């Protein structure tokens, strides 16, 4: 066995629990797993499934330095597969056109990612494919004004994560006259919020997880319940992935209308917490050999949680007259997403490896979700030449590129 060369994989984030799932699955599949991270200390650094970690510049503070650092690691360590994990995918995708032919980037190209990540462009794209989406318009347009006067609505930035900038309003409430970034006015839906996670290859959905929040930290779920029998949602996803020829991770937030038709609120072209429910072997199979992987097997657990975040929310509920007992029951019965006796340090040392996130959250009064993404967030203004279209248009430039790519691939 000593003469066999391992596949070297570079993951572009290591601070989040979903990164540890990916690292473990790849390591068990025989890969050499590397992590590139702006944080010196992070969750995956203490895992036995990670072979080496490299501290790199934050893409928000130094995007050019971030890209240069990734390329140097890929060249020096002879990386053959690059896997973006979360919000950093928007920045990491800028290296895709600079990679040599022997290196695979596990996602679609940057222009397609921008369309999926931008909440207005995604809404326009899905609508143009005949898929149900809520009415969504750019703040400042006549359509946005009419919607705000006739129905309850929400305001949110067109490019943001972790619920940042989100607010809910009643019909007739005045819209703001000026905002610092591009905001959207979206029809408010009242159904239960359901989230999804899928792994895809060239327009084929290998497998999908549908789940809902069991415990929330602000707007970010820290405990999750897997849902079964969600055929309508799965059909929505399969149609979207097929018509856009998507490859890699993709996730959606969904709400159903009064007759049970799912509407996609937004798209996240990255891994989400739904990956915790996927069997480790099948995560690796879908990444390393996506054409051969026919489906995703699920873990037996139906409810899972992130220990430290869930504990914090449960303790806080005692002082907020919320249902601390119900949250404690979830933690008692459910499975922690990452803990195993074979690799215990990531959970045991998380208060130390996550100190940078906790410190920022406490000092700035941010949620843990916001604090964990502050140095990775993509605002849609770093890519010169991206065209922003009026909300009345059928598709944006990026949407047209996705549809053209899908047609050219059959």
Output the domain CATH number for residue 24.
3.40.50.720
- On whether the CB atoms of residues 90 and 114 are closer than 8 A, the answer is yes
Q: Does residue 352 lie within any of the structural domains?
A: no
Where does a domain end: 317, 343, 369? 343
374 in any annotated domain: no
pLDDT recorded at residue 392 = 30
Q: Are residues 254 and 298 in the same domain?
A: yes
Question: How many other β-carbons are positioned within 10 Å of the β-carbon of residue 130?
Answer: 8
Domain check: are 168 and 249 in the same one? no
pLDDT score at 229: 93
Quick one: pLDDT at residue 275?
96
d(C-alpha 316, C-alpha 84), whole Å:
33
Residue at 142 is within a domain: yes
Same domain, 168 and 245: no
Please state whether beta strands 262-268 and 248-256 pair in parallel, antiparallel, or not at all (unpaired): antiparallel
Tokens matching residue 359: 């410190």
- Give the count of domains, the chain: 3
Same domain, 149 and 173: yes
> Which residue, of 145, 161, 188, is where some domain finishes?
188
pTM, two decimals, is 0.85
pLDDT at site 93 = 95
CB 107 within 8 A of CB 268: no
Determine the structural domain holding residue 179 and report its residue range.
Answer: 135-188
Which ranges of the chain have pLDDT less than 50?
A: 1-2, 310-311, 313-318, 381, 383-400, 405-410
What would the two tokens of residue 381 be? 């203004």
- 85 and 149 co-located in one domain: no
For residues 339 and 265, membership in a common domain is answered with yes
Q: Say yes or no: 160 and 244 in one domain.
A: no
Structural domain ending residue among the three candidates 298, 325, 343? 343
Domain annotation covers residue 129: no
Same domain (yes/no): 233, 318:
yes
Residue 280 and residue 312 in one domain: yes
Residue 57 confidence (pLDDT): 97
Q: Could you tell me if residue 249 is inside a domain?
A: yes
Which spans in 61-185 are helix H? 63-76, 89-92, 110-117, 119-128, 142-150
Question: What's the pLDDT score for residue 381?
Answer: 42
């Amino acid at each position: 066995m000593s003469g066999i060369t391992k596949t070297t994989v570079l993951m572009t984030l290591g601070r989040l629990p979903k990164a540890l799932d990916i690292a473990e699955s790849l390591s068990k599949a025989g890969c050499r797993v590397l992590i590139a991270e702006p944080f010196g200390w992070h969750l995956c650094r203490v895992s036995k499934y990670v072979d080496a970690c490299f501290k790199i510049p934050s893409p928000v503070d130094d995007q050019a330095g971030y890209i240069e650092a990734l390329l140097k690691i890929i060249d020096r360590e002879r990386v053959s597969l690059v896997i973006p994990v979360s919000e950093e995918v928007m920045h990491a995708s800028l290296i895709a056109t600079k990679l040599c032919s022997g290196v695979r980037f596990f996602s679609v190209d940057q222009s397609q990612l921008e369309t999926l990540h931008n909440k207005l462009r995604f809404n326009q794209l899905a609508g143009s494919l005949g898929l149900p989406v809520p009415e969504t318009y750019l703040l400042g347009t006549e359509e946005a004004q009419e919607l705000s006067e006739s129905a309850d609505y929400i305001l949110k930035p067109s490019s943001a994560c972790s619920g940042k900038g989100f607010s809910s309003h009643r019909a007739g409430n005045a819209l703001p006259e000026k905002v610092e970034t591009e905001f959207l006015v979206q029809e408010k839906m009242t159904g239960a919020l359901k989230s999804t996670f899928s792994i895809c290859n060239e327009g084929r959905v290998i497998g999908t997880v549908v789940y809902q929040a069991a415990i929330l930290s602000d707007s970010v779920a820290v405990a999750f319940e897997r849902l079964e029998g969600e055929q309508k949602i799965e059909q929505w996803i399969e149609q979207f992935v097929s018509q856009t020829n998507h490859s890699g991770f993709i996730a959606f937030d969904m709400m159903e209308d009064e007759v049970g038709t799912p509407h996609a609120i937004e798209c996240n072209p990255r891994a989400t917490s739904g990956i915790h429910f996927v069997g480790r072997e099948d995560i690796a199979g879908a990444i390393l050999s996506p054409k051969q992987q026919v489906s995703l097997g699920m873990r037996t657990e139906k409810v899972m949680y992130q220990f430290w975040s869930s504990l914090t929310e449960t303790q806080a509920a005692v002082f907020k007259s919320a249902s601390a007992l119900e949250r404690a029951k979830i933690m008692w019965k459910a499975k922690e997403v990452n803990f195993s006796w074979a690799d215990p340090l990531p959970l045991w040392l998380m208060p130390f490896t996550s100190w940078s996130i906790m410190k920022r959250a406490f000092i700035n009064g941010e949620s843990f979700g916001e604090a964990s993404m502050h140095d990775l967030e993509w605002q849609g203004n770093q890519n010169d030449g991206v065209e922003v279209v009026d909300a009345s248009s059928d598709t944006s430039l990026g949407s047209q590129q996705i549809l053209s790519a899908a047609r050219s691939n059959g």
